[in-house]
Amino acid sequence: MHLLLPLSLLAAAPALAQDATVPAVDEGFNALGFHIAPLDGDPRDPILVVRPGRFVQWEGYAGSLVSWSNRLLAWQPATGPEVTLLDDVVTSNFAAGLAVHDRVRLQLAAPVHFASTGQDGQNGRVMGDVRVGSMIALLRPQGEGFGLAVNPWLDLPTGDDQLFLGNAGLAGGLSVSASQDLERFTFSGDLGVQLNPEIALANVQNADGILLGGAVGYLLTPSLGATLEARLFPALQRDDQTGANVPGEVLLSGRKRWDNGLHVDLGGARYLTSGTGVARHRAFIGLGWGQLYSDRDLDKDGLIDKEDACPTEPETVNQHKDKDGCPDQLADVDVRVLKDGQPFAGAELTVRSPAGETMVGRVDRSSHTAVPGESWGAKASWGTCFAGEASEKVREGANTINVPLKRSIEGAVAVTVTADGQPLPGATVWVQSDGNPECGTTERMTTDAEGKLRFALGAGMHTVIIEAPDAAPARRGFKLHRDEVRALDVALAPSKAKLEAKKIVILDKVFFATGKADILEASNPLLQEIADILLNNPQVKRVRIEGHTDDVGPDAANLKLSDARAAAVRAWLIAHGVAEDRLVSQGFGETKPLLPNKSAANRAQNRRVEFNILEPEIEPKGEPAAP
């Protein structure tokens, strides 16, 4: 692309027109306008537009982009042919960079012009303006993501301004660049300002301008990319003279990169609008090397190799160490409830995780998946007195949290036993805990010389049973609370019944209203003792309550009365805690007398209630079944 600089000589004489010459150049400027972006070898990077890709400390690059640019600058006198000022420039654009920090990279670009054409013909090799700059990353893209950077630079006047291949003094600028990386597409853009020395040559009056660029790149393969970009150079100050418009050009490039860091570039450009700093056509080819840890990802897990602790093994994405790049596994947490060292399924288990507590239910174990490093725990309870708790920080792989059940919630019972108002030593004391046997004890204990006994029980419902020879057994039911000491003062009465192998022998009588089945209140102590015997001896499975009469009255009436009285006794015992299925009743009337019905005394003996054991036959002093 060329820049026409027509000179408006409205009053010139024909001689002046004939003798018109190119204006003398006191201070020239850089008309090449080809400032390459960092050639770090990323296949997605544009040639001119700065893309803030990811880099890491001590990452470096070096390379050269050889370009050919034509029709850059020409002089059009008022009359006569156009005079070429700059054309067919062949330049080797050397570039190098080094990241001194994960967010700061220093950059250097040094163009060398090997050949060019000017108004005097072919020019020799000359140096261009050296650019020293940096990229300061504000946001670093992580794989697919957004990047943002600030890019300051300084152009040293090392070029030849008389050949329009350099500025006459210091120049520089600043831009802000951004990029958005997707799986294959990359969108980049920058906006900045270029500050140059003042220019006062014909219709080129302005020096400073805006830099505006945009690019879209596409990864054909992970190591081969193609990029289309556009760059505009609008001036900061409008110049109304012809030819001072908004110069711009469009570029298409491709880059191939190998794993050893070498890369090649190939592409071309064409002007969009004419103006200073763009060519009609450009073509370029490049070769470089970049120590690009920032985009090398051998295991394709989205983490760059330098930041990947396991660069040849892909990361396992599972919310655990997802940024270290290594395969890992979650924690398998196996929570187990133990009692006496063995799995136990009767307890209520609650598992505690970072998300909160979860009631699992009555199980002996529960399995979960967790993130290593988390603290997990569990608690279990059985009945009213057994509990256990455990916790630990889980690690990768298998974890077992054992929750041992212990009877840690304790109370105590203090028993004082008397008979006839005196302390009763040697009385047998034991406990039934049918609703919560785990909190009770099966031990049979005896009172001391003062008739006292103290022992521990778990919190909950219990019945303490006190027995002694020739005394009626006593039962005391209560609810024991945690850390409570329950005092029981028990006075044993003389025995009215005795358990034998085949029957419960009663030493008193059950009294009824005359001719009726109504139990008199005087019988309550005896019946309570019988109920206590049955409750204290659950091994007695079945008892038949038999009713008997004397021979007074009709046989049928006696049979009916005896049956009713036996049924009444059965109902009384059931009402006082004896299981219904342990009792049957039957009346025998006058058919089974103990003595001949010859006297009032004998008839009184025959009017009776008996308690015969149907199953099983037992030894009366045998141990009670475990509660």
3-state helix, strand, coil in the chain (%, to 5): 10, 45, 45
Q: pLDDT tier at 10 (50, 70, 90 boundaries)?
A: very low
Domains and CATH numbers, the chain: 14-290 (2.40.160.40), 331-406 (2.60.40.1120), 410-492 (2.60.40.10), 497-615 (3.30.1330.60)
Query: Which of helix, strand or coil describes residue 382?
Result: strand
Q: Quick check: 318 pLDDT over 80?
A: no
Q: Which of 30-34, 35-39, 241-245, 452-456 is least confident?
A: 241-245
pLDDT score, position 324: 66
Q: Which two tokens stand for residue 56?
A: 């890491």
Pick from 558, 610, 604: nearest CA to 585:
610
The residue whose two tokens read 């009184």 is 604
Q: How far apart are CA 194 and CA 215, in angstroms?
A: 19
Mean pLDDT over residues 73-91, rounded? 84
Q: Which amino acid type is present at position 380?
A: A
pLDDT score, position 85: 87
Is the CB of residue 302 less than 8 Å from the CB of residue 345?
no
Q: pLDDT tier at 75 (50, 70, 90 boundaries)?
A: confident
Mean pLDDT over residues 271-282, rounded? 87
Q: Quick check: 624 pLDDT over 70?
A: no
Pick from 496, 482, 472: nearest CA to 439:
482
Higher pLDDT, 316 or 229: 229
Is the CB of residue 56 less than 8 Å from the CB of residue 102?
yes
Asked if the peptide bond before residue 616 counts as cis, ω within 30 degrees of 0, the response is yes
Taken in order 290, 263, 50, 88, is the CA torsion positive or negative? positive
In DSSP terms, which residues pair with 176 in a beta bridge? 150, 191
pLDDT score, position 326: 77
Q: Quick check: 238 pLDDT over 90?
A: no
Tell me the per-residue pLDDT of 592-615, one tens digit each, with 9 for 90 and over: 999 999 999 999 999 999 999 998
Most confident of 3-7, 543-547, 614-618: 543-547
Mean pLDDT over residues 343-363, rounded? 89
Beta strand pairing status for 542-548 and 583-587? parallel
Query: In the chain, pLDDT over 90 holds for what percent of residues?
Result: 59
Mean pLDDT over residues 472-493, rounded? 92
Tell me the per-residue pLDDT of 543-595, one tens digit each, with 9 for 90 and over: 999 999 999 999 999 999 999 999 999 999 999 999 999 999 999 999 999 99
The residue whose two tokens read 């994960």 is 102
pLDDT score, position 156: 96
pLDDT score, position 57: 83
The secondary structure of 26-76 as a DSSP string is: SS--B-----PPP----TT--SSS-------TT-EEEEEEEEEEE--EEE-
Higher pLDDT, 65 or 623: 65
Q: How far apart are CA 96 and CA 76, in angstroms?
A: 39
Cα-based distances in Å from 55 to 192, 295, 380? 22, 8, 53
Q: Quick check: 201 pLDDT over 50?
A: yes
Dihedrals phi, psi of 489, to nearest 5 degrees: -105, 115
pLDDT score, position 375: 93
Q: How far apart are CA 32 and CA 30, in angstroms?
A: 6
pLDDT score, position 620: 47
Average pLDDT value for the chain: 86
What is the number of residues in the chain? 627
The residue whose two tokens read 């090397």 is 289
Q: Quick check: 621 pLDDT over 90?
A: no
